[in-house]
């Protein structure tokens, strides 16, 4: 299993696998540290874990605790399992599960977490309600979701402007939101959270240094040239073949530019149940 799944099976995964608890859940880590002081055996559920790099680094942060990482896709969980074995992280298990119907009793986990999951869902508040259900009274639900509309890129070449518009139109078409970050607090309230039990903040991801730019640009060029984003773009009439190629080339050119920067905001919430 490990051999097969340690091959990265989908183009989308490369830039996901540089995510860690440190670079993607920094808003939550101080809370985890505080809880750990009182309860070293705390349990975390990481919903929509994908290839699991955040879940695995969360598990490392709680050596006497336990992480359950779920995703709807089995193949990505095989990849996550393989990474956890490579990294020798033992206090973690992976389970196929639907975020809308989590296979856990009410009040099971100390912390329920997700990252870049709700932004892909049509009814994100229902997912948050389910995450609240499986969290212990007094426990935390934490979420961090991108806000694609805030993506800012330099130099602002025509191909990159086209890509920004393209992706902002693509996300809603597949049932998600290009303005998830700013709405995350509202979604939590709609899921039943009380306003005075929610802390809202914003963080960024940025790709400015050479290695980061390479990961981002090559990934973008790849998904523009093949796969679901390309197919949907063509079918929906958002872009022509020529425009897609212009976008892919624009990312390659951006990678080689000294003053290139890219950043995007993420909304963050911590809800106390």
Stretch that binds its own copies, among 66-74, 119-127, 153-161, 214-222 (CB under 8 A): 153-161
The nearest distance, CB 140 to its own copies, in angstroms, is 17
Closest of 153, 150, 142, 101 to residue 272, by C-alpha: 142
C-beta of 157: minimal distance to its own copies in Å? Answer: 13
Q: Alpha carbon 206 to chain centroid distance?
A: 14
From 75, 156, 165, 241, residue interacting with its own copies (rule: CB under 8 A): 156
**Is the CB of 72 or the CB of 263 nearer to its own copies?**
263
Q: Quick check: 259 binds its own copies (CB under 8 A)? A: yes
Contact call for residue 161 and its own copies (CB under 8 A):
no
- How many CB atoms neighbour CB 114 within 10 A? 24
Nearest-approach distance from CB 261 to its own copies, in angstroms: 5
**Rule CB under 8 A: is residue 29 a binding residue for its own copies?**
no
Nearer to its own copies, 93 or 123 (CB): 123
When binding is defined by CB under 8 A, the residue of 12, 199, 232, 272 that contacts its own copies is 199
Q: Which of 174, 204, 236, 240 binds its own copies (CB under 8 A)?
A: 204
Residue with tokens 């939101």: 177
* Interaction of residue 145 with its own copies, rule CB under 8 A: no
Per CB under 8 A, the list member of 182, 222, 225, 249 interacting with its own copies is 182
145 or 243: CB nearest its own copies: 145
8 Å CB contact between 95 and 69: yes
Segment contacting its own copies by CB under 8 A, of 12-20, 55-63, 227-235, 256-264: 256-264
The correct pick among 12, 20, 108, 201 for binding its own copies (CB under 8 A) is 201
Q: Site size for its own copies, by CB under 8 A?
A: 33
Residues in contact with its own copies by CB under 8 A are 147, 149-150, 152-156, 179, 181-186, 189, 195, 199-204, 206, 208-209, 258-261, 263, 265, 267
């Amino acid at each position: 299993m490990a051999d097969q799944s340690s091959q990265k099976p989908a183009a989308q995964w490369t830039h996901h696998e540089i995510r860690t608890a440190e670079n993607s859940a920094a808003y939550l880590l101080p809370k985890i540290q505080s809880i750990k002081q009182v309860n070293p055996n705390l349990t975390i559920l990481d919903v929509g874990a994908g290839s699991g790099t955040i879940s695995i680094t969360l598990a490392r942060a709680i050596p006497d605790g336990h992480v359950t990482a779920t995703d709807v896709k089995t193949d990505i969980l095989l990849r996550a399992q393989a990474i956890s074995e490579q990294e020798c992280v033992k206090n973690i298990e992976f389970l196929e599960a639907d975020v809308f119907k989590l296979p856990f009793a009410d009040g099971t986990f100390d912390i329920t977490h997700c990252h870049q999951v709700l932004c892909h869902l049509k009814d994100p508040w229902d997912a948050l309600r389910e995450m609240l259900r499986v969290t212990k009274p007094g426990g935390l639900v934490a979420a961090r979701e991108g806000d694609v509309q805030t993506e800012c890129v330099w130099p602002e070449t025509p191909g990159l402007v086209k890509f920004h518009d393209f992706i902002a139109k693509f996300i809603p078409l597949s049932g998600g939101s290009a303005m998830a970050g700013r709405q995350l607090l509202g979604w939590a309230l709609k899921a039943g959270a009380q306003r005075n039990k929610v802390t809202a903040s914003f963080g960024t991801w940025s790709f400015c240094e050479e290695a980061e730019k390479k990961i981002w640009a090559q990934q973008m060029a790849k998904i523009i040239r093949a796969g679901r984003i390309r197919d949907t773009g063509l079918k929906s009439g958002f872009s022509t073949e020529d425009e897609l190629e212009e976008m892919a080339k624009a990312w390659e050119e951006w990678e080689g530019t000294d003053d290139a920067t890219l950043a995007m905001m993420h909304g963050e919430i911590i809800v106390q149940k």
